[in-house]
Amino acid sequence: MKALVLESVKKLSVRDYPINETAGPYDVKIQIKACGICGSDIHYYLEGAIGDFVVKEPMILGHEAAGIILEKGEQVNHLAVGDLVCMEPGIPSAFSPEALSGNYNLDPDVVFWATPPVHGCLRETVVHPARFCFKLPRGLSAAEGAMMEPLAIGIEAAKKGRITPGDTALVIGAGAIGTLAAVSASAGGCSRVFISDVKEEKLSIAGSYPNVVPINTGKADLADTVMKETGGRGVDLIIEASGSPKVYPGFFRCAKRGGKAVLVGMMNGTVPIDVALLQGRGISIETIFRYTNAFDRAAALVSAGKIDIKRLISKTFAFADAVAAYEYAAAGHPDVVKVMIELA
Protein backbone atom coordinates (compact mmCIF):
# COMPACT_ATOMS: atom_id res chain seq x y z
CA MET A 1 0.00 0.00 0.00
CA LYS A 2 1.03 3.65 -0.31
CA ALA A 3 2.93 4.90 2.72
CA LEU A 4 5.26 7.69 3.82
CA VAL A 5 8.58 5.93 4.35
CA LEU A 6 11.63 7.27 6.14
CA GLU A 7 14.33 5.73 3.95
CA SER A 8 17.25 7.21 5.89
CA VAL A 9 18.09 10.45 7.71
CA LYS A 10 16.49 13.40 5.87
CA LYS A 11 15.26 11.14 3.09
CA LEU A 12 11.52 10.47 2.76
CA SER A 13 9.38 8.99 0.01
CA VAL A 14 5.71 8.26 -0.63
CA ARG A 15 5.73 4.83 -2.20
CA ASP A 16 4.21 1.38 -2.19
CA TYR A 17 5.33 -0.57 0.84
CA PRO A 18 4.75 -4.30 1.37
CA ILE A 19 2.40 -4.60 4.35
CA ASN A 20 -0.22 -7.31 4.67
CA GLU A 21 -2.32 -7.12 7.84
CA THR A 22 -5.38 -9.20 8.69
CA ALA A 23 -7.87 -8.21 11.36
CA GLY A 24 -8.27 -10.78 14.11
CA PRO A 25 -11.43 -11.30 16.18
CA TYR A 26 -10.65 -8.34 18.48
CA ASP A 27 -9.24 -6.02 15.79
CA VAL A 28 -10.52 -3.48 13.30
CA LYS A 29 -9.18 -2.46 9.91
CA ILE A 30 -9.11 1.31 9.45
CA GLN A 31 -8.77 3.56 6.42
CA ILE A 32 -6.54 6.41 7.57
CA LYS A 33 -8.11 9.80 6.85
CA ALA A 34 -5.81 12.23 8.71
CA CYS A 35 -2.42 12.06 10.42
CA GLY A 36 -0.57 14.79 12.32
CA ILE A 37 3.18 15.33 12.36
CA CYS A 38 4.66 15.00 15.84
CA GLY A 39 7.95 16.29 17.18
CA SER A 40 9.17 12.70 17.51
CA ASP A 41 8.51 12.17 13.79
CA ILE A 42 10.68 15.19 13.05
CA HIS A 43 13.46 13.87 15.31
CA TYR A 44 13.50 10.57 13.42
CA TYR A 45 13.41 12.43 10.10
CA LEU A 46 16.26 14.83 10.91
CA GLU A 47 18.41 12.70 13.23
CA GLY A 48 17.36 9.08 12.74
CA ALA A 49 17.05 8.46 16.47
CA ILE A 50 15.54 9.49 19.78
CA GLY A 51 17.69 8.25 22.64
CA ASP A 52 17.95 4.47 22.43
CA PHE A 53 15.38 4.26 19.62
CA VAL A 54 17.38 4.19 16.40
CA VAL A 55 15.98 3.83 12.86
CA LYS A 56 18.11 1.11 11.27
CA GLU A 57 16.00 0.35 8.19
CA PRO A 58 13.16 1.99 6.24
CA MET A 59 10.25 2.84 8.57
CA ILE A 60 6.76 4.26 8.02
CA LEU A 61 6.21 7.39 10.10
CA GLY A 62 3.13 8.72 11.89
CA HIS A 63 1.25 7.94 15.10
CA GLU A 64 -1.34 10.73 15.49
CA ALA A 65 -4.23 9.58 13.34
CA ALA A 66 -7.93 9.04 12.77
CA GLY A 67 -9.82 7.05 10.18
CA ILE A 68 -12.90 5.08 9.18
CA ILE A 69 -13.46 1.45 10.13
CA LEU A 70 -13.55 -0.81 7.06
CA GLU A 71 -13.72 -4.19 8.78
CA LYS A 72 -14.16 -5.44 12.33
CA GLY A 73 -13.45 -8.70 14.07
CA GLU A 74 -16.28 -10.96 15.22
CA GLN A 75 -15.65 -10.13 18.90
CA VAL A 76 -15.81 -6.35 18.40
CA ASN A 77 -19.17 -5.08 19.66
CA HIS A 78 -18.63 -1.42 20.58
CA LEU A 79 -17.60 -0.25 17.10
CA ALA A 80 -19.20 -0.58 13.66
CA VAL A 81 -18.05 -0.44 10.06
CA GLY A 82 -18.20 3.20 8.97
CA ASP A 83 -17.38 4.66 12.40
CA LEU A 84 -14.84 7.49 12.48
CA VAL A 85 -12.31 6.65 15.18
CA CYS A 86 -9.08 7.90 16.66
CA MET A 87 -6.49 5.39 17.74
CA GLU A 88 -4.21 5.13 20.75
CA PRO A 89 -0.91 4.23 19.06
CA GLY A 90 0.64 2.05 21.77
CA ILE A 91 -0.34 -1.58 22.36
CA PRO A 92 0.88 -2.99 25.70
CA SER A 93 0.93 -6.58 26.78
CA ALA A 94 -2.24 -7.36 28.71
CA PHE A 95 -0.17 -9.51 31.08
CA SER A 96 2.74 -7.20 31.83
CA PRO A 97 3.19 -6.17 35.47
CA GLU A 98 2.88 -2.54 34.38
CA ALA A 99 -0.44 -3.10 32.62
CA LEU A 100 -1.81 -5.15 35.51
CA SER A 101 -0.91 -2.35 37.93
CA GLY A 102 -2.69 0.26 35.79
CA ASN A 103 0.45 1.77 34.27
CA TYR A 104 0.22 0.18 30.84
CA ASN A 105 2.07 3.14 29.29
CA LEU A 106 5.21 1.98 31.12
CA ASP A 107 5.19 -1.53 29.65
CA PRO A 108 8.75 -1.85 28.26
CA ASP A 109 7.50 -4.10 25.47
CA VAL A 110 4.68 -1.81 24.30
CA VAL A 111 4.30 -1.81 20.52
CA PHE A 112 4.07 1.88 19.58
CA TRP A 113 3.55 3.20 16.06
CA ALA A 114 6.58 4.82 14.41
CA THR A 115 8.95 3.82 17.19
CA PRO A 116 11.74 1.68 15.70
CA PRO A 117 11.36 -1.04 14.60
CA VAL A 118 7.55 -0.63 14.55
CA HIS A 119 6.00 0.96 11.46
CA GLY A 120 3.72 3.96 11.87
CA CYS A 121 0.26 4.65 10.50
CA LEU A 122 0.89 7.21 7.74
CA ARG A 123 -0.39 4.78 5.13
CA GLU A 124 -3.62 3.80 3.46
CA THR A 125 -4.90 1.32 6.06
CA VAL A 126 -3.95 -0.12 9.44
CA VAL A 127 -5.13 -3.02 11.58
CA HIS A 128 -5.40 -2.14 15.26
CA PRO A 129 -6.91 -3.63 18.42
CA ALA A 130 -10.45 -2.33 18.86
CA ARG A 131 -9.72 -1.78 22.56
CA PHE A 132 -7.43 1.08 21.56
CA CYS A 133 -9.82 2.69 19.05
CA PHE A 134 -12.29 5.37 20.12
CA LYS A 135 -15.38 6.43 18.21
CA LEU A 136 -15.37 10.17 17.65
CA PRO A 137 -18.50 12.10 18.64
CA ARG A 138 -20.71 13.37 15.84
CA GLY A 139 -19.45 16.62 14.36
CA LEU A 140 -15.74 16.01 14.88
CA SER A 141 -13.56 15.75 11.78
CA ALA A 142 -10.79 13.25 11.09
CA ALA A 143 -8.22 16.02 11.51
CA GLU A 144 -9.64 16.84 14.95
CA GLY A 145 -9.56 13.13 15.73
CA ALA A 146 -5.87 13.00 14.87
CA MET A 147 -5.31 15.73 17.47
CA MET A 148 -6.58 13.48 20.26
CA GLU A 149 -3.13 11.92 20.65
CA PRO A 150 -1.23 15.12 21.55
CA LEU A 151 -4.24 16.31 23.56
CA ALA A 152 -4.06 13.07 25.55
CA ILE A 153 -0.59 14.12 26.72
CA GLY A 154 -1.96 17.45 27.94
CA ILE A 155 -4.77 15.68 29.77
CA GLU A 156 -2.30 13.25 31.36
CA ALA A 157 -0.25 16.21 32.61
CA ALA A 158 -3.37 17.79 34.11
CA LYS A 159 -4.29 14.48 35.75
CA LYS A 160 -0.83 14.12 37.27
CA GLY A 161 -1.10 17.70 38.52
CA ARG A 162 -4.17 16.79 40.63
CA ILE A 163 -5.80 20.14 39.93
CA THR A 164 -8.23 21.62 42.42
CA PRO A 165 -10.79 24.10 41.00
CA GLY A 166 -9.38 27.60 41.21
CA ASP A 167 -5.72 26.56 41.07
CA THR A 168 -3.15 28.52 39.10
CA ALA A 169 -0.64 26.89 36.77
CA LEU A 170 2.43 27.69 34.71
CA VAL A 171 3.32 25.82 31.52
CA ILE A 172 6.87 26.09 30.21
CA GLY A 173 6.90 25.96 26.40
CA ALA A 174 4.16 27.07 23.98
CA GLY A 175 4.55 24.38 21.35
CA ALA A 176 1.78 21.93 20.54
CA ILE A 177 2.17 19.90 23.74
CA GLY A 178 2.62 22.95 25.96
CA THR A 179 -0.44 24.70 24.56
CA LEU A 180 -2.52 21.54 24.89
CA ALA A 181 -1.29 21.10 28.45
CA ALA A 182 -2.34 24.68 29.19
CA VAL A 183 -5.84 24.29 27.79
CA SER A 184 -6.16 20.92 29.57
CA ALA A 185 -5.22 22.55 32.86
CA SER A 186 -7.79 25.26 32.23
CA ALA A 187 -10.46 22.70 31.36
CA GLY A 188 -9.48 20.77 34.49
CA GLY A 189 -10.34 23.72 36.75
CA CYS A 190 -7.42 26.16 36.78
CA SER A 191 -8.52 29.77 37.04
CA ARG A 192 -5.39 31.07 35.31
CA VAL A 193 -2.68 29.29 33.35
CA PHE A 194 0.50 31.19 32.56
CA ILE A 195 2.48 29.92 29.59
CA SER A 196 6.04 30.93 28.77
CA ASP A 197 8.13 30.88 25.61
CA VAL A 198 10.45 33.13 23.62
CA LYS A 199 8.43 32.93 20.40
CA GLU A 200 5.78 35.63 20.30
CA GLU A 201 3.84 33.93 17.51
CA LYS A 202 3.31 30.75 19.53
CA LEU A 203 2.47 32.73 22.66
CA SER A 204 -0.16 34.63 20.67
CA ILE A 205 -1.85 31.36 19.68
CA ALA A 206 -1.76 29.97 23.21
CA GLY A 207 -2.95 33.28 24.65
CA SER A 208 -6.03 33.22 22.43
CA TYR A 209 -7.54 30.59 24.74
CA PRO A 210 -9.57 31.69 27.77
CA ASN A 211 -7.66 31.93 31.07
CA VAL A 212 -4.27 31.39 29.36
CA VAL A 213 -1.79 34.22 30.06
CA PRO A 214 1.36 34.38 27.87
CA ILE A 215 4.77 35.39 29.21
CA ASN A 216 7.58 36.13 26.77
CA THR A 217 10.74 35.16 28.65
CA GLY A 218 12.83 36.93 26.03
CA LYS A 219 11.40 40.18 27.35
CA ALA A 220 10.56 39.49 31.01
CA ASP A 221 11.95 37.46 33.89
CA LEU A 222 9.71 34.43 34.38
CA ALA A 223 9.90 34.08 38.16
CA ASP A 224 9.51 37.82 38.78
CA THR A 225 6.47 37.99 36.50
CA VAL A 226 4.77 34.94 38.01
CA MET A 227 5.37 36.11 41.56
CA LYS A 228 4.01 39.56 40.75
CA GLU A 229 0.89 38.05 39.16
CA THR A 230 0.28 35.71 42.10
CA GLY A 231 0.86 38.14 44.93
CA GLY A 232 4.25 36.66 45.75
CA ARG A 233 2.89 33.14 46.36
CA GLY A 234 3.69 31.33 43.12
CA VAL A 235 1.53 28.89 41.17
CA ASP A 236 -0.03 25.69 42.41
CA LEU A 237 1.17 23.66 39.44
CA ILE A 238 4.05 23.86 36.95
CA ILE A 239 4.05 21.80 33.76
CA GLU A 240 7.43 21.69 32.01
CA ALA A 241 6.69 21.03 28.33
CA SER A 242 9.62 22.60 26.51
CA GLY A 243 12.11 19.76 26.88
CA SER A 244 14.86 22.39 27.00
CA PRO A 245 17.65 21.92 29.56
CA LYS A 246 18.10 25.71 29.57
CA VAL A 247 14.98 26.22 31.71
CA TYR A 248 16.34 24.09 34.58
CA PRO A 249 16.37 24.59 37.52
CA GLY A 250 15.04 28.15 37.51
CA PHE A 251 11.38 27.46 36.78
CA PHE A 252 10.90 25.65 40.12
CA ARG A 253 11.10 29.07 41.79
CA CYS A 254 7.70 29.86 40.27
CA ALA A 255 5.95 27.21 42.39
CA LYS A 256 4.24 28.06 45.63
CA ARG A 257 5.18 26.29 48.86
CA GLY A 258 3.61 22.86 48.69
CA GLY A 259 3.18 23.17 44.92
CA LYS A 260 3.61 20.53 42.25
CA ALA A 261 5.69 20.18 39.09
CA VAL A 262 4.90 17.78 36.24
CA LEU A 263 7.75 17.07 33.83
CA VAL A 264 6.49 16.42 30.30
CA GLY A 265 9.26 17.60 27.98
CA MET A 266 11.85 14.93 27.19
CA MET A 267 15.52 15.50 26.46
CA ASN A 268 18.81 13.70 26.29
CA GLY A 269 21.33 14.04 29.09
CA THR A 270 20.96 15.42 32.60
CA VAL A 271 19.88 18.73 34.08
CA PRO A 272 20.68 20.47 37.39
CA ILE A 273 18.10 20.20 40.17
CA ASP A 274 18.16 22.43 43.27
CA VAL A 275 17.21 19.79 45.84
CA ALA A 276 17.37 22.21 48.78
CA LEU A 277 14.88 24.53 47.05
CA LEU A 278 12.48 21.66 46.38
CA GLN A 279 12.74 20.42 49.96
CA GLY A 280 12.50 23.85 51.54
CA ARG A 281 9.35 24.69 49.58
CA GLY A 282 7.87 21.20 49.71
CA ILE A 283 7.58 20.99 45.92
CA SER A 284 6.62 17.54 44.65
CA ILE A 285 7.61 16.28 41.20
CA GLU A 286 5.69 13.99 38.86
CA THR A 287 6.75 12.77 35.44
CA ILE A 288 4.68 11.51 32.55
CA PHE A 289 5.46 9.09 29.76
CA ARG A 290 2.69 9.11 27.17
CA TYR A 291 -0.74 8.56 28.82
CA THR A 292 -3.27 6.14 30.27
CA ASN A 293 -7.00 6.10 29.53
CA ALA A 294 -7.04 9.64 28.16
CA PHE A 295 -8.38 9.38 24.60
CA ASP A 296 -12.06 9.11 25.51
CA ARG A 297 -11.65 12.08 27.86
CA ALA A 298 -9.96 14.08 25.10
CA ALA A 299 -12.76 13.42 22.63
CA ALA A 300 -15.42 14.24 25.23
CA LEU A 301 -13.80 17.59 26.10
CA VAL A 302 -13.52 18.62 22.45
CA SER A 303 -17.05 17.47 21.67
CA ALA A 304 -18.41 19.42 24.66
CA GLY A 305 -16.75 22.61 23.44
CA LYS A 306 -14.39 22.78 26.40
CA ILE A 307 -11.34 22.69 24.13
CA ASP A 308 -11.15 24.15 20.62
CA ILE A 309 -8.64 21.95 18.85
CA LYS A 310 -9.12 23.29 15.33
CA ARG A 311 -7.17 26.51 15.83
CA LEU A 312 -3.99 24.52 16.51
CA ILE A 313 -4.02 22.90 13.05
CA SER A 314 -1.79 25.41 11.29
CA LYS A 315 -1.45 23.91 7.82
CA THR A 316 -2.83 20.89 5.96
CA PHE A 317 -1.17 18.89 3.18
CA ALA A 318 -2.47 16.16 0.90
CA PHE A 319 -0.99 12.68 1.30
CA ALA A 320 0.72 13.00 -2.09
CA ASP A 321 2.58 16.01 -0.68
CA ALA A 322 3.58 14.32 2.60
CA VAL A 323 7.30 14.82 1.96
CA ALA A 324 6.73 18.56 1.53
CA ALA A 325 4.65 18.50 4.73
CA TYR A 326 7.58 17.09 6.68
CA GLU A 327 9.98 19.58 5.18
CA TYR A 328 7.60 22.37 6.17
CA ALA A 329 7.14 21.02 9.71
CA ALA A 330 10.89 20.57 10.15
CA ALA A 331 11.56 24.19 9.18
CA GLY A 332 10.34 25.33 12.59
CA HIS A 333 8.03 28.17 11.53
CA PRO A 334 7.26 30.15 14.71
CA ASP A 335 3.56 30.51 13.85
CA VAL A 336 3.03 26.78 13.23
CA VAL A 337 1.67 24.51 15.94
CA LYS A 338 0.49 21.36 14.13
CA VAL A 339 0.94 20.26 10.53
CA MET A 340 -1.74 17.83 9.34
CA ILE A 341 -1.73 15.38 6.43
CA GLU A 342 -5.09 14.35 5.01
CA LEU A 343 -5.62 11.18 2.99
CA ALA A 344 -8.36 10.85 0.38
Domain boundaries along the sequence of the chain: 2-147+309-342, 160-287
> Which pLDDT does position 20 carry in this prediction?
85
Q: What is the mean pLDDT of residues 165-190?
A: 97
**Contact between 147 and 173 (Cβ < 8 Å):** no
What pTM was estimated for this model as a whole?
Answer: 0.94
The answer on pLDDT for 299 being more than 90 is yes
Q: What is the mean pLDDT of residues 245-250?
A: 95
Which class for 45: exposed (0-12), middle (13-18), buried (19 or more C-beta within 10 A)? buried
Share of the chain above pLDDT 70, in %: 100
pLDDT band of residue 50 (cuts 50, 70, 90) is confident
> Which pLDDT does position 52 carry in this prediction?
83
pLDDT band of residue 221 (cuts 50, 70, 90) is very high
The answer on pLDDT for 157 being more than 80 is yes
Question: pLDDT for 4-14, tens place per residue?
Answer: 999 999 999 99
Q: What is the mean pLDDT of residues 116-143?
A: 96
CATH class of residue range 160-287: alpha beta
The answer on pLDDT for 159 being more than 90 is yes
Ranking 64-73, 86-95, 215-224, 266-275 by mean pLDDT, the lowest is: 266-275
Query: What's the whole-number average pLDDT of the chain?
Result: 96
> Which pLDDT does position 51 carry in this prediction?
79
CATH number of 2-147+309-342: 3.90.180.10
> Which pLDDT does position 150 carry in this prediction?
97
pLDDT band of residue 90 (cuts 50, 70, 90) is very high
Q: What is the mean pLDDT of residues 170-196?
A: 97
The answer on pLDDT for 268 being more than 80 is no
Share of the chain above pLDDT 90, in %: 95
pLDDT band of residue 106 (cuts 50, 70, 90) is very high
